[in-house]
Chains A and B, each alone.
Chain A
Amino acid sequence: MLNIKDISKTFNPGTPDEVQAIKHVSLTVPEGSFVVVIGTNGSGKSTLQQLIAGACVPDSGSIELAGQDITRWGEHRRAALIGRVFQNPFSGTAPTLSIIENMALAARRGQRRGLGWLLSGAVRRHLRERVAELGMGLEDRLDNAIGSLSGGQRQALTLLMAVLQRPSLLLLDEHTAALDPKASDQVIRLTRDMVAREKLTTVMVTHSMHQAAHLGDRLIMMVNGEIRQDLADERKRRVHVEDLLALFEQVRRADRLDASAAELLRSRYV
């Protein structure tokens, strides 16, 4: 379970570049829940993920994960609990290392094991099986350098590495945005299957209305550093792509509602 209480984050405070990226956001994600996050550009989706992952520090508020207050934990320490996949397929893996070496590094995360352990036959066999589950034939190329793979293959491996240790929380930040449609579909299918099979608590940011409508059991829409919509269970299941487009249209309208419009409403709305 992830429990975010009233966190705020302002970048460049007190300067002309001041941005209130996250404004008093509270969010509870129960064990096994799959939350999809959508929102306009700059609405704070990535910042929220970074605050959860410890890549940046909140100005106020607290974050609890798996029963522990991790607000003051560094990014490294949190990595033992959190698996992450980013947009860029080239950021999650070490390009010069082989598939099996990358996998072994992920498998070793949070443990003090030597390289000898990595090379043991049992571990290799286990990792090979996991890679085979991707259904991409990569199990026969375990010693190839990751740099030789396509973006979709690398993103699939990054995803596998992120869930290998069954993290308390899986964070996905537009992890298919840089892929072509076919690779994107493939990675999304893998995501859905892995999250379902391992019952992973997941927070996924996406720009795809189709993904937002069809994945997860809860949908959050962020606008200007705040959670504007939070649809769960039945309401989430009923959401169609058109509903989401309408929500964005609503946001566009809201942005155009200025102080003079509020006065207009005061004098003309009953």
Chain B
Amino acid sequence: MDIAMTTAGDAATVRVSGRLDARNADILSRELDECVRGGWHVLRMNLHDVEYISSAGIRVLIKFAKILQGQGGWLEVLEPSSVVASVLEMTGTMPLFAPRKEQSAATATAGASGCRQIGAMRCTVTASAAGVSMRGRVLGNPAFMARNGSFAPGEVRQLRLGVKAVALGIGAFAADHAGAKGHYGEFLAAGGVAVALPPDSNGQPDFVVSEQRLVPELAVLSALHLEGDFAVQARFESSPQHDGLPGLSDLGAAALALSGASQAVMVALAETSGLVGASLLQSPEGSQDAEYFHFPEARRWFNLTPERVHGRQLVLLVGVFARQPAVPLADHLRPMADSADALRGHVHAAVLSYRALPGGSLALPATLADIFQTQTPLDLLHLINDDRAISGAGDSLFQRGVLWVSPLGEVDMEGGAQ
């Protein structure tokens, strides 16, 4: 069997020749998976030179027709050989693969807007709204960890997160501190979905999706809480002009560039090429004289990825980036690289099993509701660029994805002021 591919816009023409038996169907399935991951939403299967097709081969065609349908695209069969045509006829699957004339949803929207080169990334804006920004507030002060201090129950704040809320920090799903004690860990929230990783859960994150009157509620030790609409939605992928994949810093730079502000909120759904980060091994509240960042005590507190993990998965990123943040926002941001003028940020990542994203402009709440309907998050990390010489695991890397960004206006302080 031979597979040859040519692309135009978001359509790929795949020319298959030879026998499409079970073994080759597997190979074809893997190739088509690459196409779909690569963002091609229309697959034109030229089966003119296919001399045999088994049920395994038909199954692959049906599988991808369905996957693409979910993404506003389709799979069509062109110039089937007589063998293929008669098998598709007999199985009644021919109409499923009928060629179409219209544009895919993705092409339709992409045509309307431009493509921008930002650092190592190529961004295509798929939706934007003028004059939109977010307001924010900080809760608690993460400095309690730096000063090895204990945490007074009075410093705990409750967060109820509506569909327009974006938040990240250290917290637990609970109605108050008493219920959250022992479970505080990293969390993130966006588009009506909140994910938290209780350190006592053996690494299994928990999540709450807004539904009717159910709204995610967390008790938080420290958090960034942003509220408002997104100004820009964009697709990104690694730029052909650059070697290597975009890292977290590139996403940060893109978030600032796309929002045209010096501080910005970013939510992203992206395909990863490996994440680097840390999560808490113990709930940090109430620990007298806990030396979180001392060696070797840090071993008891942090799970730090020694190499990139969760490659080729789907990840939900929630973060804030800024060039020169002022207090109190500055207390919640950290350098994204080891240099004095480095971009600062704070990003949490919830890991999900890979699935292709639909094309076109996406509504964040609906997209997340759809994903979380069938998926349980696999992990949650506070992303860290491990740029230590030699032993460092490097930065988190991404293949492609969708960004939602907004300029971040004023950030107020609430509680835990010290």
Instruction: State the A residues within 8 Å of B (CB).
Output: 243, 246-247, 250, 252-270
A-B pairs with the 4 shortest C-beta distances? A266-B293, A262-B298, A262-B295, A259-B295
B295, B331, B334, B388: which contacts A269 (Cβ < 8 A)? B334
B333 CB to closest chain A CB (Å) equals 7
Q: A264 with B386: in contact, given A243-B202, A246-B202, A250-B281 (CB under 8 Å)? A: yes
A243, A246, A252, A265: which contacts B384 (Cβ < 8 A)? A265
Q: What residues of chain A lie closer than 8 Å to B333, measured between beta carbons?
A: 270
B332, CB-defined interface residue at 8 Å: yes
B262, CB-defined interface residue at 8 Å: no
Contact in complex: A270, B303 (CB < 8 Å): no
The closest CB in chain B to the CB of A228 belongs to B300
Q: What residues of chain B lie closer than 8 Å to A256, measured between beta carbons?
A: 306
Contact in complex: B334, A254 (CB < 8 Å): no
Number of B interface residues at 8 Å Cβ cutoff, please give it.
Answer: 35
Contact in complex: B306, A253 (CB < 8 Å): yes
A49 CB to closest chain B CB (Å) equals 25
Q: What residues of chain B lie closer than 8 Å to A264, measured between beta carbons?
A: 304, 384, 386, 388, 392
Between A and B, 13 residue pairs with Cβ closer than 8 Å are A247-B202, A254-B300, A257-B299, A261-B295, A265-B292, A265-B293, A265-B302, A267-B334, A268-B334, A269-B293, A269-B334, A269-B384, A270-B142
B203, CB-defined interface residue at 8 Å: yes
Q: Please measure, in the bound complex, the distance between the C-alpha atom of A262 and the C-alpha atom of B384, giving whole angstroms.
A: 12
Q: A257 with B298: in contact, given A246-B203, A266-B293 (CB under 8 Å)? A: yes
Contact in complex: B295, A270 (CB < 8 Å): no
A243, A255, A260, A270: which contacts B222 (Cβ < 8 A)? A270
Q: Please measure, in the bound complex, the distance between the C-alpha atom of A191 and the C-alpha atom of B293, giving whole angstroms.
A: 44
Q: What residues of chain A lie closer than 8 Å to B334, measured between beta carbons?
A: 267-270
Proximity bits, B311-335, A CB within 8 Å = 1, else 0: 0000000000000000000011111
Q: What residues of chain B lie closer than 8 Å to A259, measured between beta carbons?
A: 295
Contact residues, B368-395 vs A (CB, 8 A) = 382, 384-386, 388, 391-392
Contact in complex: B202, A258 (CB < 8 Å): no
Contact in complex: A269, B382 (CB < 8 Å): yes
B329 CB to closest chain A CB (Å) equals 11
Q: What residues of chain B lie closer than 8 Å to A255, measured between beta carbons?
A: 299
Contact in complex: A266, B146 (CB < 8 Å): yes
The closest CB in chain A to the CB of B390 belongs to A260
Q: Please measure, in the bound complex, the distance between the C-alpha atom of A105 and the C-alpha atom of B391, giving whole angstroms.
A: 58
Instruction: State the B residues within 8 Å of A (CB).
Output: 142, 145-146, 169, 202-203, 222, 278, 281, 292-296, 298-300, 302-306, 331-335, 346, 382, 384-386, 388, 391-392
Contact in complex: B293, A254 (CB < 8 Å): no
A247, A265, A270: which contacts B304 (Cβ < 8 A)? A265
Q: What residues of chain A lie closer than 8 Å to B335, measured between beta carbons?
A: 267-268
Given contacts A264-B384, A265-B384, 7 further A-B contacts (CB under 8 A): A243-B202, A254-B300, A257-B306, A262-B293, A265-B302, A269-B384, A270-B145
Q: What residues of chain A lie closer than 8 Å to B386, measured between beta carbons?
A: 261, 264
Q: What residues of chain A lie closer than 8 Å to B146, measured between beta carbons?
A: 266
Contact in complex: B303, A250 (CB < 8 Å): yes
A224 CB to closest chain B CB (Å) equals 9
Q: Please measure, in the bound complex, the distance between the C-alpha atom of A269 and the C-alpha atom of B346, giving whole angstroms.
A: 8
Q: Please measure, in the bound complex, the distance between the C-alpha atom of A270 and the C-alpha atom of B223, giving whole angstroms.
A: 9
A221 CB to closest chain B CB (Å) equals 12
Q: Please measure, in the bound complex, the distance between the C-alpha atom of A270 and the C-alpha atom of B112, giving whole angstroms.
A: 40
Instruction: Identify which of A252, A263, A268 gathers the most chain B CB atoms within 10 Å of its CB.
Output: A268
Q: Please measure, in the bound complex, the distance between the C-alpha atom of A33 and the C-alpha atom of B195, giving whole angstroms.
A: 37
Contact in complex: B298, A261 (CB < 8 Å): yes
Contact in complex: A268, B384 (CB < 8 Å): yes
A148 CB to closest chain B CB (Å) equals 47
A143 CB to closest chain B CB (Å) equals 52
The closest CB in chain A to the CB of B142 belongs to A270
Q: What residues of chain A lie closer than 8 Å to B332, measured between beta carbons?
A: 270
A252, A269, A270: which contacts B302 (Cβ < 8 A)? A269
Contact in complex: A269, B281 (CB < 8 Å): no
Q: Please measure, in the bound complex, the distance between the C-alpha atom of A247 and the C-alpha atom of B202, giving whole angstroms.
A: 8
Contact in complex: B203, A265 (CB < 8 Å): no
B145, B202, B306, B385: which contacts A268 (Cβ < 8 A)? B385
A243, A254, A266, A270: which contacts B299 (Cβ < 8 A)? A254
Contact in complex: B388, A261 (CB < 8 Å): yes
Q: Please measure, in the bound complex, the distance between the C-alpha atom of A256 and the C-alpha atom of B390, giving whole angstroms.
A: 13
Q: What residues of chain A lie closer than 8 Å to B305, measured between beta carbons?
A: 253
Q: Please measure, in the bound complex, the distance between the C-alpha atom of A268 and the C-alpha atom of B382, giving whole angstroms.
A: 9
Q: Please measure, in the bound complex, the distance between the C-alpha atom of A246 and the C-alpha atom of B295, giving whole angstroms.
A: 23
Contact in complex: B391, A258 (CB < 8 Å): yes
Q: What residues of chain B lie closer than 8 Å to A253, measured between beta carbons?
A: 303-306
Q: Please measure, in the bound complex, the distance between the C-alpha atom of A243 and the C-alpha atom of B200, giving whole angstroms.
A: 12
Q: What residues of chain A lie closer than 8 Å to B303, measured between beta carbons?
A: 250, 253-254
B156 CB to closest chain A CB (Å) equals 17
Q: What residues of chain A lie closer than 8 Å to B202, measured between beta carbons?
A: 243, 246-247
Q: Please measure, in the bound complex, the distance between the C-alpha atom of A270 and the C-alpha atom of B332, giving whole angstroms.
A: 6
Q: Please measure, in the bound complex, the distance between the C-alpha atom of A261 and the C-alpha atom of B294, giving whole angstroms.
A: 10
Contact in complex: A260, B388 (CB < 8 Å): yes
Instruction: Identify which of A250, A264, A270 gathers the most chain B CB atoms within 10 Å of its CB.
Output: A270
